[in-house]
Amino acid sequence: MDLQIAAILVPLLGWAVHGSVLAYRLASARRDPLTGLHTRAGWTARAEHCIRRHPSTAVLLVDLDRFKTLNDTHGHAAGDAALVATADRLRAWCGRHGTAGRLGGDEFVAVVRDLAAADLDALTAALNRPLSYNGVSLPLAASVGVCHLPELPVPLLTDALAAADAAMYATKGRGRRGSRLSH
């Protein structure tokens, strides 16, 4: 190989490898290492894109009920299994019509293009289905708050999250597992 060509190719190859490593790190930073769901930053970018493109978008906030008790009673590995199961169930429900994320702790979020096409009762049932863990049936319970963006004066993600959060706490306040739409 000609030395001039090598002198050009070696630095280019180095930059290509460096760029690949940086792209991998960025992608990894946008995924929760435990659940594989998008982190807040990754999910927010996708949710804002969805809101701009689909006027009937809905935002959901999911919070596990009595998660601390589950962790304290069965251990942190069981708590991690509950978080992974919740993430899998939420991801499956979103399918190709939405995106799920983990905000942190036991809080999850989703955005779906069309709530009318999604079966909210199926999500609620899935999130409240017990989890088999090491031969024990762990009780899983979740409260879901939903904000249908067309009901907001201005369809902003921050306002949708606040409305979904209020609806989720209203569900918890009723002392029932399930979901509630914002109004």
Structure tokens at 84: 């992974």
Q: Which helix (H) or strand (E) holds 3?
A: helix 3-29
Instruction: Give the pairing type, strands 98-104 and 178-181.
Output: unpaired
| Alpha-carbon span 3 to 5, nearest angstrom | 5
Is 88 noted as a catalytic residue in this protein?
Answer: no
| Alpha-carbon span 53 to 48, nearest angstrom | 9
> Annotated catalytic residue: which of 32, 63, 106, 165?
106
Report helix, strand or coil for 78. helix
The phi, psi pair for 175, rounded to 5°, reads 75, 20
Which residues are catalytically annotated?
A: 106
